[in-house]
Structure 1
Amino acid sequence: MQLRAIEISHADRLSACREKLEEAVYQIIEGNKVLDFTPTEIAMAIADIADDFILAASRKRAATH
C-alpha cells in the first residue's frame, strides 16, 4: 500500500501517523498465535499502554510549564 508522505506542516498529522502505523498494529493484534492471547486482549493491552504513555507525557509537559 502506497501512503502519502507526512509533511512537517501537514494539518492532520494524527491521521497520517495512523495510516503509517495501522498495518503494523493490526499485525501485532492478530499475532495471537505467538502471544497466546486473543486479538481483543492484545488490542486492549495496546490501548492501555498507549493511555499510560499519553498520561505520563501530559504530566511531564505540565511539569515543564
Structure 2
Amino acid sequence: MSSITKIIRVVLGVILLIIGLIGGLIPIFQGWIFGLPGLMLLGSVFPSVKKMTNKLIKKAKKSLRR
C-alpha cells in the first residue's frame, strides 16, 4: 500500500470517526453508522486499532448470543 493511500485512509477514517462521535451526542443522528467504517479504515493502517476493533466485535457477538 502506498503512502498516499495510507494518508487518505487515515484522514477519511478520522473524519468518519469524528462524525460518528458527534452523531453519538445528537439523539436523532446515528453515529455508529459513521464510526464503524472509520474504525475499519483506521484498522487497515494501524494494527492496534484493528486488534481493538476485533475485540469489540467478539464482545458484541458474545453479548448477542445471550
Whether these two folds match at TM > 0.5 is no
The TM-score normalised by the length of structure 2 is 0.33
The TM-score normalised by the length of structure 1 is 0.33
Larger RCO, structure (CA 8 Å, separation 6 or more): 2
> Of Structure 1 and Structure 2, which has the larger fraction of its residues in helix?
2
Computing the radius of gyration from Cα coordinates, the structure with the larger value is 1
